[in-house]
Amino acid sequence: MTAFPSPHLVPQDPPTPPGTAAPPGPAGSDALPSRLRALGPNWYASVMGTAIVAGAGAALPVHPPRPVLEAVWALAAALLAVLLVARAGHWLRHPDQARAHLRDPAVAPFYGCLAMALLAVGGAALALRVPGSVGTDTGLWAAGTAVGLVATVTVPYLMITRHELAPGSASPVWLLPVVAPMVSAALGPPLAAHLPAGQPRLTMLLGCYALFGMSLLATLLILPLVFSRLVHHGPLPAPLTPLMFLVLGPLGQSTTAMGNLADAAPGLFGALPVLYGVPVLGFALLWLALSTALVVRAARRGMGFSMTWWAFTFPVGTCVTGAAALGRHAGADAFGWLAVGLYAVLVTAWLAAAVRTACGLVSGALLAAPRR
């Protein structure tokens, strides 16, 4: 498999050209284990990108057909279950490769995707009120928050103590582990409504606000490094250019979080959703325009399909929910229509990434064993 940000996942393997898949792996009884060896944590991005289509659709002022959203959510839940089993098999059968992922500064940040996949599926279940949604979301929110907190501490620790990072190597993927707590902060308030009023609910909301601050301040540390890398070293390589969209994640998700916190406790948060969300969403639209221009530039230079295309989905989805939250709190229809327009972009991006990923899985190219 071509790694999400890296041409290959096994450091000792000969390089594969970025954005291309390795030749098909061996056939026979050893085929599945060899394919599991190539399965990295970046694959959870497909769960995130699918779940946000369902969750963001439920937040729109004009709702898509509910059966369609429920079918997309069911697909995301099934993908999550399959990947959890497959990744457990990866750790059991290929512990050396799993440890290599943690040692690779281009791959380790994607452990944040596991947390966000759990949270996104649980949050979409509650938003759509599927049967058993409260229990499902409670379990997935607790698990996703715990995994996210571990990733938020562990990945920066590894970057400081183990990873060898060259000057100017900052990447938008560095945001992935620190954004996970912001997803918890955004999806926790709707769940808090199902807790007893008083101290239990207040504790949950204040905990979400603490998660909000944790993620926001960490993001403010990383974003200047990413922009500095871009202006001093030029655009990302063409196959990695879609990763520019990852910056939208903390921007849209923090706007969503502030809106959901105010929905749950208007007396505590008051006008903060508008005061915070309008300028942040404005910057998100600026970054969306810049990222789109760079993607068009990369496409003209031959950018082909890779798993980086999933970066077009979840981050844009957070801007959909952020714009919808601003529409509720500002009372401005323009934000509602902005959410609808961004949702159309999200669905288009999801269809493109999903179809190309499915074709790659059927052909065996995306999970082919690396060449030796």
Residue 340 forms part of a structural domain:
yes
Residue 3 forms part of a structural domain:
no
What b/e readout covers 259-298, taking b as 16+ CB neighbours within 10 angstroms?
Answer: bbbbbbbeeebeeebbebbeebbeebeebbeebeebbeeb
pLDDT value of residue 364: 84
As a whole number, mean pLDDT of residues 216-239 equals: 96
Residue 371 forms part of a structural domain:
no
Residue 14 forms part of a structural domain:
no
As a whole number, mean pLDDT of residues 339-349 equals: 98
User: Are 219 and 175 within 8 A, CB to CB?
Assistant: yes
pLDDT at 200 over 90: yes
As a whole number, mean pLDDT of residues 11-40 equals: 50
pLDDT value of residue 167: 85
Centre a 10 Å sphere on the Cβ of residue 206 and count the other Cβ atoms it contains.
Answer: 14
d(CA 68, CA 59) in angstroms, rounded, equals 14
What is the tens place of the pLDDT at every residue in 53-70? 999 999 999 989 999 999
d(CA 198, CA 208) in angstroms, rounded, equals 16
Residue 284 forms part of a structural domain:
yes
User: Are 370 and 17 within 8 A, CB to CB?
Assistant: no
pTM: 0.90
d(CA 286, CA 280) in angstroms, rounded, equals 10
Percent of all residues in the chain with a pLDDT value above 70, rounded to a whole number: 90
The CATH number given to whatever domain includes residue 130 is 1.50.10.150
Residue 12 forms part of a structural domain:
no
Residue 77 is part of which domain span?
31-363
Largest alpha-carbon pair distance within the chain? 63
Domain count, the chain: 1
Residue 257 forms part of a structural domain:
yes
Number of H helices, E strands in the chain: 13, 0
Residue 350 forms part of a structural domain:
yes
